[in-house]
Structure 1
Amino acid sequence: MKLGEVADRIEQFDEDLTIYAARPWTIDSEASLEVNEDSTTRPLNGLDYFLEVDIAVEVIEAWSIHRPGQVPTTAERCEAIVFYADNDCYLIPGGYDPIS
């Protein structure tokens, strides 16, 4: 499975699963969903720890909240979760003003 496929279908997966993916993380990276019983960030089956499914769901929800009325494409979903995995923060659009 590719990381883009995981991002596109993220809401369908058990939120207790962890995503593992091949670096560099892109829409075309090989990816796998696995149980991470040890809650560690160690590689698994040749793939690097990427993100937990429940966090990826939150990242996609945050993307939509910060872009009212927009539905993210597969590429935008993937970009948002890769950004979060790399930076531990949401991908906020430039010029976003949460007060307005």
Structure 2
Amino acid sequence: MKPTKLIDVVAGISTHDDNLTIYATKPWTCNSNTILAQEPAEGGRPAEAELCGAEYLIEVFIAKEFLEDWLAQEGRPISTQEQCERLIHYAIYDA
């Protein structure tokens, strides 16, 4: 899989397989190069994440649940940029 920007992954989060994990290059920003991949059974990073220097960020199903819950609580339109920034914060401090 070719790396994409984290903001693009967040924009299409509802279309991604719940069994995948989000790996992104640090420092994590909305423009971080990102890979969606299955976590290896033996642990660690998948080869495609290692090749682009991406680190574990969060599982897709957790990202979906977090964003759905947060958006429902906010009750206002929220930009993809703000969603991405909030997901990064959640992954670092709360997940």
- Which TM bucket (shorter chain)? 0.7 to 0.9
Secondary structure (helix, strand or coil) at the match of 2:74 reads coil
Correspondent of 1:82 among 66, 77, 88: 88
Give yes or no for contact 1:7–1:77 (8 Å, CA) kept in 2: yes
TM-score (norm 2): 0.82
Cα distance in 2 for partners of 1:86, 1:56 equals 12
Cα distance in 1 for partners of 2:6, 2:77 equals 18
Secondary structure (helix, strand or coil) at the match of 2:40 reads coil
Alignment of 1:39-58 (within 5 A): 40=43, 42-43=44-45, 44-45=49-50, 46-58=53-65
Per the alignment, residue 28 of structure 2 pairs with 25
How far off is 1:33 after superposition? 0.2
Per the alignment, residue 35 of structure 1 pairs with 38
Please identify runs of 4+ aligned residues in structure 1 that moved more than 2 A: 37-40
- For structure 1, which segment, 20-29 or 56-65, has the greater mean C-alpha deviation from structure 2 after superposition? 56-65
Per the alignment, residue 65 of structure 1 pairs with 72
Q: CA RMSD in A?
A: 1.6
Per the alignment, residue 94 of structure 1 pairs with none
Give yes or no for contact 1:20–1:49 (8 Å, CA) kept in 2: yes
Give unpaired runs (5+ residues) of structure 2. Answer: none
How far off is 1:66 after superposition? 2.0
Cα distance in 2 for partners of 1:58, 1:39 equals 26
Alignment of 1:4-23 (within 5 A): 4-23=7-26
Give unpaired runs (5+ residues) of structure 1. Answer: 90-100
